[in-house]
Structure 1
Amino acid sequence: MGMMQQVTRRIDPLMRMLVAAILLASLLPVSEALRPAAQAVSDAAIFLLFLLNGLRLPRGEVLRGLKHRRYIVPVCLFVFAVMGMAGLGAWQAAQAFLPPLVALGFLFLGVLPSTVQSATAYTSLSGGSVAMSVIAAALLNLLAVFVTIPLFTLLAGGQGAGLDFAVLQKVALVLLLPFILGQLLQGRFGAWAQEQRVLVARMDRSAIAIAVYVAFSGAVREGLWERLDLADWAAMGGVVAVLLALGFGGSWALGGALRLERAERISFLFAGAHKSMAMGAPLAAILFDPAQAGMIMLPLLVYHLAQMLVSAPLASRFSQA
């Protein structure tokens, strides 16, 4: 119970905010008239999120992590290539029994990076290498800005969002520009961002919740809850379970094949298996119309909750070994 309480204290605030955002969107979705203003607020929140990421990510950590190529290169390939292909297979299979946009969400899920907070928290609770976990999460999320959208577009073909000029422009203005500004201002405000961890974490979660609320408002207006029945939710859960088994089992097996030290292998497990809502929500908001984004994010939301439920007993077992 003590282990579960520690995990709950460190991770559950985001899940509570996501659930609240979904409930609010279901009961009080953004009207069509207010949609442009709501999208502008969401974009501003995402801009702030990536500005804070730029302030907090020390360049030295990334450079140190790059030196450990036997860890970094395989975890990047597993997260983006292996899980991306798994997402592709899940999308193709799920089209037979799930709405098209929900099925496409499995491909989107597959090409997302690892989490920062939960992967590091579980690594710490498990006695793994926290330093490598932080470095891997930071690098994976930085690479995601350049890798996730092109990879998704490539694998989705004509059925995904295209990499047209408007998308590239929005990526540059809402993701890359604030991150670069954060890196440039790191010497002046980086220490402040590190000292104000609680405030910054709340701002992070708020930005993610706003993006989810706007996306789900669009999906609710398009009849989200009427289009999915219990059989659809069960099918979605089944596909998520398969991806979880591949994510956790595959990353643990690969860490063993690489002969990583136990602490690094534990870090590799959580970095490889977790998927980031913090990156998924902003990217979905940029790539898709809100009505589409809400449907496409459903598999990610289910996976995000399930990965924490799976990770808690694993962390407990590792800590006692």
Structure 2
Amino acid sequence: MMKIKIDSFVIGLFVAIILAYIYPNLALIEGRYSLDSITTLGISFIFFFYGLKLSFSDLKAGLSNWKLHLLVHLSTFILFPLLVLIFLPFVKTEIQQQFWLSFFFLAALPSTVSSSVVMVSIAKGNMPAAIFNASISGIIGVIVTPLWMGLFLTVDHEFDFGHVYLSLFLEIILPVILGVVLQPYFGKWARKFSKGLSTFDKIIILLIVYKSFADSFIEKIFDTVDVWYFIAVFLGVIVLFGLVYFLIWYSASKLLKFPIEDQITAIFCGSKKSLTHGSVFAKIIFTHVGLGFGLVFFPIMIYHAFQIFVASIIAQRYAKRMDVKN
């Protein structure tokens, strides 16, 4: 009998929202010990540790399968946004624009790193290719995600490309480069304590989620929407995931006729979205545009929880299929 394990981080996300609702005052602290200061420093450490753990041998091993890489990244950065973009002509009201923009932000994000690789491992897919695609996706996203968002935020909201890219460079790219440079000295340490570093990552993300929702509760952002908004978010997440999953599966298995191991990698790397990058990008991109962080975050959180739940089931089924095949 297949067991479905509830991810503790998903539970933590909803606990963070509840705490933000009950006690939002921590978000009002300013100065050196403000949550903004703590999370900004924490983000830099997340990507510094990411650089320390990058394995060039694994990246090199997965480099040659260019058709698979192309499918994954076209799915992540082109297919996802286009599926949301086709609904733009139906956006009429301000709340519909907020709803659409939050989903478009979700669609423009890079793929996950750790969970994509974990799911491919469980499903017994092409691991070197999974590591390559998951690692490269975040770097591509630093460039592509702000470009996608800038197309629409410049219309009705202030969007400073220079400020966004400088912030992303200082908080993401520079720490990654520093981590890569220091990898020969501290790489083994980072891989040895990868579980502890993963816990650190999750704590920082939970703090960002708490701060975002606390600000939204203080500003009464959620008072502007009703229960149907949240139902629409849940349905939108299910439809978006289902469409992307089917199109990647069909492309990988029917059109490109990939071997089963490559199909698994394409599906799990191409259909995922990174909450880590989402929390960082939202913090930088939406700081000065006057949109409610809580509403922006909500589809990403629901998608994250949904993708872990569904991907776990699919991965275990693929694993059984591979066992039978072997």
Could you state the TM-score of these two structures normalised by the residue count of structure 1?
0.90
Runs of 5+ consecutive residues of structure 1 not aligned to the other structure? none
2:56 corresponding residue in structure 1? 59
Q: Secondary structure at the match of 2:24?
A: coil
Structure-1 separation of matches of 2:132 and 2:294? 30
Structure-1 separation of matches of 2:44 and 2:38? 10
Distance 1:90 1:216, change over 3 A: farther
Q: Secondary structure at the match of 2:249?
A: helix
Deviates more, 1:155-164 or 1:145-154: 155-164
* Alignment check: 8 A CA contact 1:88 1:155 kept: no
The amino acid that maps onto 2:314 is L
1:45 corresponding residue in structure 2? 42
Percentage of pairs with the same residue: 25
Deviates more, 1:283-292 or 1:85-94: 85-94
Q: CA deviation at 1:31?
A: 5.7
Q: Which of 192, 195, 199 does residue 198 from structure 1 map onto?
A: 195
Q: Is 1:154 the equivalent of 2:151?
A: yes
Q: How many residues align?
A: 316
Q: What is the alpha-carbon root mean square deviation over aligned residues?
A: 2.3
Distance 1:291 1:163, change over 3 A: closer
Q: Is 1:236 the equivalent of 2:236?
A: no
2:208 corresponding residue in structure 1? 211
Q: Secondary structure at the match of 1:108?
A: helix
Deviates more, 1:183-192 or 1:113-122: 113-122
* Alignment check: 8 A CA contact 2:221 2:292 kept: no
Distance 1:161 1:112, change over 3 A: farther
Q: Which of 67, 80, 83 does residue 80 from structure 2 map onto?
A: 83
Distance 1:165 1:225, change over 3 A: same
Write the deviation string for residues 243-263 of structure 1: whole angstroms up to 9, x where unpaired: 111111111111122221101
Structure-2 separation of matches of 1:177 and 1:295? 30
Structure-1 separation of matches of 2:55 and 2:267? 23
Write the deviation string for residues 68-111 of structure 1: whole angstroms up to 9, x where unpaired: 21111221111101112123234554665945333311110001
Equivalent positions of 1:86-235 (< 5 A) are 86-90=83-87, 93=90, 98-159=95-156, 162-235=159-232
Write the deviation string for residues 262-292 of structure 1: whole angstroms up to 9, x where unpaired: 0110111011111110111111111112963
Structure-2 separation of matches of 1:161 and 1:64? 43
Write the deviation string for residues 178-222 of structure 1: whole angstroms up to 9, x where unpaired: 111111111111110000022111111112111211211211122
The amino acid that maps onto 1:225 is F
Could you state the TM-score of these two structures normalised by the residue count of structure 2?
0.89
Structure-1 separation of matches of 2:107 and 2:157? 14
The amino acid that maps onto 2:284 is I
Distance 1:122 1:32, change over 3 A: closer
Q: Which of 278, 282, 285 does residue 287 from structure 1 map onto?
A: 285
Distance 1:14 1:91, change over 3 A: farther
